[in-house]
Amino acid sequence: MLRAPLSFPRSFLPAHALRRCFASTSAAHEQFVIIARDGADPKAFERRMAIRPAHLAGVKKLKAAGQVVLGGAIIGDESKMVGSVMVVDMPTKEAVEQYIKSDPYVKHGVWTKWEILPFKPAALD
């Protein structure tokens, strides 16, 4: 089955993020992808849902400050959230690691392992 290509509204990424994504010179910040996995214990999903409001409140503040470009949950079997993916705009990988360690999901044992990867979006226009 053929599918139409995805089309996002122009406001999908904030202007400051687009400038940093496609700038030809080095910017003060870099973008990184965070892939975080929840624990696999029987209480993992329940723990995630209990802490989720505090996690989202922090992410919304970072989004307003231009440090979070996008984020969302990884969906596993049984259509339950089992992790997260985020694209962040921060000065260094160490800053991203510091953010992760301060996030309520880590402090309360929701995220048990994560990976931080440098990210450069493709210019698709």
Q: The CATH number of the domain where 43 resides is what?
A: 3.30.70.1060
Number of independent structural domains in the chain: 1
Higher model confidence: residue 14 or residue 71? 71
* Residue 24: inside a domain: no
Task: Tell how many helices (H) and how many strands (E) occur in the chain.
Answer: 4, 4
Q: Which tokens belong to 12?
A: 């999908």
Average pLDDT of the residues in 97-121: 97
Higher model confidence: residue 24 or residue 88? 88
DSSP state of 90: E
pTM of the model: 0.76
* Residue 63: inside a domain: yes
Average pLDDT of the residues in 85-91: 97
Q: What is the pLDDT of residues 3-51, one digit of tens each?
A: 444 444 444 445 444 444 444 334 568 999 999 999 999 999 999 999 9
* Residue 4: inside a domain: no
Amino acid at 52: R
* Residue 9: inside a domain: no
Domain that holds residue 59: 30-119
What pLDDT shows up at residue 47?
97
User: CB-based contacts of 5: which residues, under 8 Å, 6+ apart?
Assistant: none
* Residue 56: inside a domain: yes
Q: What whole-number distance in Å separates Cα of residue 120 and Cα of residue 105?
A: 26
> Are the C-beta atoms of residues 88 and 99 closer than 8 Å to each other?
yes
What pLDDT shows up at residue 15?
47
Percent of the residues in the chain that have a pLDDT greater than 70, as a whole number? 78
Amino acid at 90: M
Q: What whole-number distance in Å separates Cα of residue 31 and Cα of residue 87?
A: 7
**Which range is least confidently modeled, 30-34, 75-79, 99-103?**
75-79
What pLDDT shows up at residue 101?
97
